[in-house]
Chains A and B, each alone.
Chain A
Amino acid sequence: MPTEQELVASIAAKKAAYHEAAPTETAAALAVRDAAIRADMDALCVMLRGEAGPCPDCGAEPIGMLKTPAYVKKGREVPAVYAVRCANPKHPVRMSKAGSPRAAALLWNAGEFEVVKG
């Protein structure tokens, strides 16, 4: 099973290839590339949601995401923020954020959300 970093790198590489091919390839060929990108994207979302349960609003499986990547600010590292959320925009968007995918999933399962769009 690929790691998070491997999936992120794979998505970036496949997007770059799509980007390169977009002006010249047929729509059918691009659709194949698109499907491969979406498969990696879905795999990453499933990996990052871990054991998070279904959305309490609509019952859909939530997505896991790297909300904000780690970065360095004035010489100090600011850690990454992961989130579990439902991608269904038809109800208030609840999001559980934490420093790791597992911690975000635990918060989600405990019902500890913030409503980021009501």
Chain B
Amino acid sequence: MVAFTKLNGFVEHLAEGVHNLGSGQLVVALSNTAPGSEGTPPTGSTAACILANVTQVSYTNLSSRNVTTSSSSQSSGTYSLVNSDLVLTSSGGTTGPFRYVYLYNDTPTSPADPLIGYYDYGSSITLADTETFTIDFAATTITVA
């Protein structure tokens, strides 16, 4: 299981009302460019923490990238976001190569598509026709204490 890296700008977006993680539609984006190597790295300022700064692969052959949120709740003051695993299927051709899988919120419009964080799979992956790729969202994608 790959570790999830939170982007710094996410915490300011969270504190300033950009996200509703219970109702917003979370989506994954695939990239083969290291976050720190983007023209405007999303790892930098809060303003840069948006999908527009990510070099994405083509999704022509890929299944839906929408994430299902199973639970968005708090217990004793600690918030927990639980997502179902997402299975991506390439059909009709290949998808990729990609190495980085970003999680972003597709609902907000100001800023549009704010990023939450990303997984680094360590090396580039190409899905052949009919191949699947499962994103295991682990126990709890995000906790806020």
Contacts and interface: CB of A to CB of B under 8 A. Distances in A.
Interface of A: 8, 15-16, 18-19, 22-23, 30, 33-34, 37-38, 41, 44-45, 58, 60, 63, 65-69, 71-75, 78, 81, 85, 87-90, 93, 95, 116-117
Nearest to B68: A66
B140 A67 contact: no
A65 B84 contact: yes
A89 B71 contact: no
Interface of A is mostly: mixed
A75 B85 CA distance: 20
Interface residues of B, number: 32
A89 B130 contact: no
B73 interface: yes
A29 B116 CA distance: 25
B132 to A, nearest CB: 5
Contact of A23 (B23, B69, B109): B109
The 3 closest A-B pairs by CB, nearest first: A117-B139, A88-B75, A93-B139
B75 A90 contact: yes
Contacts of A23: 109
Contact of A18 (B23, B85, B131, B132): B23
B75 A73 contact: no
Interface in B74-120: 75-76, 78, 80, 82, 84-85, 87, 89, 106-109
A30 B76 CA distance: 26
A87 B75 contact: yes
22 contacts: A18-B23, A22-B107, A22-B109, A37-B22, A66-B68, A66-B70, A68-B84, A69-B68, A69-B87, A74-B131, A78-B132, A81-B85, A85-B139, A87-B73, A87-B80, A87-B82, A87-B140, A88-B80, A90-B76, A93-B139, A116-B139, A117-B139
